[in-house]
């Protein structure tokens, strides 16, 4: 049973790491004016499901509406980081 939990934990860790790397790439690419292509659409499609709940929450509570930083993106990244730390 411990082996199965270890495998599941390792798989989840790898998935979280891939999503965090995709989020970093998305952030870096946002600094450059490039046309949308397959790679950027792929990054958006795998990262947006993690960012959208924070964005919806902040919009509903009317938080962080007047600042130029995407706080929802940062909150999602921090949440993923905390989850990856808490996994055994």
CA distances from 10 to 2, 14, 16, 78 (A): 12, 6, 10, 19
Q: Output the pLDDT for position 88.
A: 75
Residue where the block lists tokens 């790898």? 14
Which residues form the domain of 25?
Answer: 2-86
- The model's pLDDT over 39-72, given as tens digits with 9 standing for 90+, comes to 999 999 999 999 999 999 999 999 998 898 889 9
Q: Residue 14: which pLDDT band, with cuts at 50, 70 and 90?
A: very high
Query: What mean pLDDT value characterizes the chain?
Result: 94
Q: What is the percent of the chain where pLDDT is above 90?
A: 86
Looking at the structure of the chain, the number of domains it has is 1
Confidence band for 22, pLDDT divided at 50, 70 and 90: very high
């Amino acid at each position: 049973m411990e082996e199965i939990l270890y495998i599941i934990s390792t798989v989840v860790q790898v998935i979280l790491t891939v999503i965090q790397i995709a989020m970093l790439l998305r952030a870096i690419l946002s600094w450059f004016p490039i046309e949308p292509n397959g790679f950027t659409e792929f990054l958006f499609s795998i990262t947006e499901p993690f960012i959208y709940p924070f964005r919806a929450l902040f919009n509903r509570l009317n938080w962080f509406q007047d600042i130029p930083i995407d706080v929802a993106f940062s909150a999602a990244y921090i949440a993923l980081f905390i989850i990856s730390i808490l996994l055994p």
